């Protein structure tokens, strides 16, 4: 084999490897031309189907799972009107999730949920001498999101849906006595600030299980908790015993339902 033939073979292999690498990259990230077609297709779709929403394209990205592009759009006049349009690599729109995200008020819920947590941290963190890992006001699990209003402002003193408090903390004392103590301390702040909590969710983790840095995961293996404990029972005598029995009954009910 002469030198010229060798160079041709090496060049052909190099081109082949380059094409292979580009194909692999495109399979995970897409390509600029198809991305441009996706954005163009989404813009036409917006103008045709949602012209009254005053939408703009926020971003577009490739989904390697199904080989399509998703184009995230946001209204210029409504912070809760944001959804995705799904487009193939030729610019043909497959679907959108406007009904699921916007009409079902999931975008509104997520915004308010974030605002509630920010308010809870502002109100509680640093006010009590506990080693909190997590603090949040949140809507109860059974809340009907359709009762929310798009772009509404949340009034923490008169929330649109029932809210609960959810906290996780580290302590050397992992017991229902400690949970009762923490819940009463929280109750004092909530009453003073006129926050209508319907129930309490408190989890205590052993201080010895506290991660050394924030990047480490927190283990719940040795934790103790109370879930969905009603505000109406907070004035019970022997609160820690009431909480212990309440949680035992709740867990038994859940186990019975799982058996059916």
Kindly indicate the confidence band of residue 214, based on its pLDDT and cuts at 50, 70 and 90.
Answer: confident
Dist. CA 85–CA 70, nearest whole Å: 6
pLDDT tens digits for 47-79? 999 999 999 999 999 876 777 899 999 999 999
Q: CATH code for 32-103?
A: 3.10.450
Dist. CA 237–CA 180, nearest whole Å: 11
pTM (predicted TM-score): 0.80
DSSP three-state, residue 166: strand
Dist. CA 230–CA 158, nearest whole Å: 18
**What is the SS3 string spanning 48-115?**
HHCHHHCEEEEEEEEECCCCEEEEEEEECCCCCCEEEEEECCCCCEEEECHHHHHHCCHHHHHHHHHH
Kindly indicate the confidence band of residue 112, based on its pLDDT and cuts at 50, 70 and 90.
Answer: very high
> What pLDDT is attached to residue 92?
94
Domain boundaries, the chain: 32-103, 106-259
The closest of 161, 229, 156 to 199, measured between CA atoms, is 229
Kindly indicate the confidence band of residue 28, based on its pLDDT and cuts at 50, 70 and 90.
Answer: very low
Dist. CA 225–CA 23, nearest whole Å: 51
């Amino acid at each position: 084999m002469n030198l010229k033939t060798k160079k041709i073979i090496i060049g052909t292999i190099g081109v082949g490897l380059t094409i292979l690498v580009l194909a692999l990259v495109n399979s995970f990230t897409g390509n600029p031309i198809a991305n441009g077609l996706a954005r163009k297709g989404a813009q036409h779709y917006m103008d045709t189907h949602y012209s009254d929403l005053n939408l703009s394209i926020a971003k577009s990205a490739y989904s390697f799972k199904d080989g399509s592009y998703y184009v995230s759009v946001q209204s210029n006049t409504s912070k809760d009107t944001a959804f995705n349009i799904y487009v193939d690599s030729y610019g043909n729109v497959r679907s959108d999730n406007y009904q699921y995200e916007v009409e079902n008020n999931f975008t509104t819920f997520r915004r308010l949920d974030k605002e509630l947590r920010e308010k809870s941290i502002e109100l509680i963190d640093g006010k009590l001498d506990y080693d909190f890992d997590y603090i949040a006001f949140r809507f109860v699990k059974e809340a009907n999101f359709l009762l929310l209003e798009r772009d509404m402002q949340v009034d923490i003193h008169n929330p649109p849906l029932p809210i609960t408090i959810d906290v996780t903390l580290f302590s050397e004392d992992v017991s229902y006595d400690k949970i009762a103590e923490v819940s009463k301390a929280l109750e004092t702040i909530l009453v003073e600030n006129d926050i209508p909590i319907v129930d309490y969710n408190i989890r205590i983790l052993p201080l010895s299980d506290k991660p050394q840095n924030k990047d480490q995961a927190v283990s719940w293996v040795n934790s103790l908790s109370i879930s969905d404990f009603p505000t109406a029972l907070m004035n019970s005598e022997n609160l820690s015993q009431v909480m212990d029995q309440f949680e035992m009954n709740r867990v038994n009910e859940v186990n019975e339902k799982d058996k059916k």
